[in-house]
Structure 1
Amino acid sequence: MNVFTVDSKKSNTATDKVSQKVLVLFSSYYFADKADKALAIHGVIHQLMPVPPELSSACGLAIGVAESYMEDVLKIFEEHKITPSHMYYYEKGKEILPYAHGSCSI
């Protein structure tokens, strides 16, 4: 009996959360292109893609990235002065939720 086959059929919310996709939207092609290049330089696995129509009627580019990389992504954006316009948890056909990246600690 293959343990991985049995386990792969079970839904594990902890694992699902780690592999959730965050879609980062930008106000311009410039920022999307700059983000794509910066993430590639730093070796962050991501996907440059058109903004899905359910998120915006305007044409634009977005970057999809696993939530587990988001801390690094935000640091890279800060370092390269890249400003995203919106960030969402996104999976086609599922509820779209705003991405909340951590809390302030003072």
Structure 2
Amino acid sequence: MHISEHPVLKEKSNEKVFFYFNNHRLEAKKGQTVAAALMANGIRKLGVSRKLSQPRGLYCSNGRCTSCFVTINGLDHVISCTTLVENNMQVFSNNNDPEIRGEKYGN
């Protein structure tokens, strides 16, 4: 899910960064979004829906559908398709409601 050569686009950086998804170390290219980096590593399921317990993943790729929520560095419900991956970033599946001051939201 990364364009390596294109006649119109300028040459992109091939600098690698490493991040973690559910405690597994993965590789990404600097400048990729978290969602693109996960897709490039073969990860399609980013969590489960709270209501129907069905798999959630990348859908619109522009931050409008909120289907690609993940937890990044302890912050719940971050939209992964608009967030750039950073070195040593900790990303986790979003399988629950977010917590607000130690209490579950939506209960």
Q: Compute the TM-score of the two structures, normalised by the length of structure 1.
A: 0.25
Q: Compute the TM-score of the two structures, normalised by the length of structure 2.
A: 0.24
Which is strand-richer, 1 or 2? 2
Which is helix-richer, 1 or 2? 1
Q: Tell which structure's C-alpha radius of gyration is larger.
A: 1
